[in-house]
């Protein structure tokens, strides 16, 4: 049991699943996604990038190859993309999704949506992206990671729960953390297009995967402090169907 310490009376308690290690947490999330697709083969999936979900995607590819699931009628929307990187740039989130998941399953490429980091008018593109999500009928299941500073997608501290898909500036700490994927911090784009917190909160169901002790404080503050702009993931308390899937390390600061 995890006590929702200091949460407001109208907060929804997230479900929390603690797994022995990152591999088990990744497999748990893959199983949940595969089960959801099998229950609704034409579902709309919200997908995340970053280091955290790579093992989950590898597990999903394994299940696809084993004939346990098909994606031919699934539509996907990714959370975010760096501005200035085209989809062929190896550090773009479009490239990541192709190489980690889409190129290995039967999803229709026309039904995979990632914000276009190369859009001529990123503000207009963000509005169009929202319209595309709405036209799809909305996201059925949204996968999230969490940043060390509590960000979800690229909604950095300061983001309100009413934010929509838009252009944002990345914080120096996020740029520094993500520099590990680039040759140097100087190469990390300073701006991105991201779904807003309000956009994310409209998903019917939300799964947040966090692994490693570097995420322990952000996880604890999200689950056990009053929601505030200081920790964007804390706004998830406003959603009635959120599950945090953690490894022991990411769960290690929770008051149990």
Ligand X SMILES: O=P(O)(O)OC[C@H]1O[C@](O)(CO)[C@@H](O)[C@@H]1O
From 55, 153, 193, 227, residue interacting with ligand X (rule: CB under 6 A): 153
Q: Which residues are catalytic?
A: 80, 149, 151, 156
Interface with ligand X, residue 222, by CB under 6 A: no
Q: Which is nearer to ligand X, 158 or 255 (CB)?
A: 158
Q: Which is nearer to ligand X, 153 or 227 (CB)?
A: 153
Angstrom distance (rounded) from CA 254 to CA 140:
28
186 phi and psi angles, rounded to 5 deg? -60, -25
Provide the terminal-to-terminal Cα distance of the chain, rounded to the nearest Å.
6
Distance of CA 76 to CAs 18, 94, 192, Å?
Answer: 27, 12, 19
Q: Which is nearer to ligand X, 75 or 155 (CB)?
A: 155
As measured in angstroms, the least distance from the Cβ of 164 to ligand X is 16
- Which residues have a Cβ under 8 Å from the Cβ of 3 and sit 6 or more positions away? 224, 255, 256
- Which residues have a Cβ under 8 Å from the Cβ of 202 and sit 6 or more positions away? 138, 139
Contact string 191-210 vs ligand X (x = CB under 6 A)? --------------------
Count the residues of the shown chain that bind ligand X, applying the rule CB under 6 A.
12
Interface with ligand X, residue 48, by CB under 6 A: yes
58 DSSP assignment: H
As measured in angstroms, the least distance from the Cβ of 62 to ligand X is 20
From 46, 50, 122, 150, residue interacting with ligand X (rule: CB under 6 A): 50
Site for ligand X in 61-90 (CB under 6 A): 79-80
Q: Which is nearer to ligand X, 65 or 244 (CB)?
A: 244
As measured in angstroms, the least distance from the Cβ of 51 to ligand X is 3
3 state SS of 113: strand
172 phi and psi angles, rounded to 5 deg? -55, -35
Interface with ligand X, residue 51, by CB under 6 A: yes
Nearest to 202 by CA among 236, 167, 160, 245: 236
3 state SS of 246: strand
Residues pairing with 16 in the sheet = 244
The CA-CA-CA angle for residues 38, 49, 22, to 5°, reads: 75
Interface with ligand X, residue 154, by CB under 6 A: yes
Q: Which is nearer to ligand X, 52 or 76 (CB)?
A: 52
From 26, 49, 59, 163, residue interacting with ligand X (rule: CB under 6 A): 49
Q: By CB under 6 A, name the binding residues for ligand X.
A: 48-52, 79-80, 145-147, 153-154
């Amino acid at each position: 049991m995890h006590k929702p310490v200091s949460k407001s009376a109208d907060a929804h308690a997230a479900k929390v699943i603690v797994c022995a290690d990152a591999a088990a947490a990744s497999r748990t999330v893959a199983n949940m996604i595969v089960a959801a697709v099998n229950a609704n083969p034409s579902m709309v999936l919200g997908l995340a990038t970053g280091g955290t979900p790579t093992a989950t995607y590898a597990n999903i590819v394994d299940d696809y190859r084993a004939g346990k699931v098909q994606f031919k009628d699934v539509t996907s929307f990714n959370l975010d993309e760096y501005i200035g990187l085209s989809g062929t740039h190896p550090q773009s989130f479009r490239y990541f999704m192709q190489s980690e998941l889409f190129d290995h399953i039967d999803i229709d490429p026309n039904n995979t949506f990632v914000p276009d980091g190369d859009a001529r008018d990123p503000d207009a593109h963000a509005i169009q992206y929202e319209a595309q999500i709405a036209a799809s009928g909305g996201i059925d299941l949204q996968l999230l990671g969490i940043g060390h500073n509590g960000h979800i997608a690229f909604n950095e501290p300061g983001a309100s729960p009413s934010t929509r898909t838009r252009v944002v500036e990345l914080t120096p700490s996020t740029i520094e953390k993500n520099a590990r994927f680039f040759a140097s911090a100087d190469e990390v784009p300073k701006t991105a297009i991201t779904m807003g917190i309000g956009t994310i909160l409209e998903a019917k169901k939300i799964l947040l995967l966090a692994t490693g002790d570097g995420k322990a404080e952000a996880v604890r503050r999200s689950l056990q402090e009053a929601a505030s702009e200081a920790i964007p993931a804390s706004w998830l308390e406003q959603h009635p169907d959120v599950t945090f899937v953690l490894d022991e390390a990411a769960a290690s600061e929770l008051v149990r």
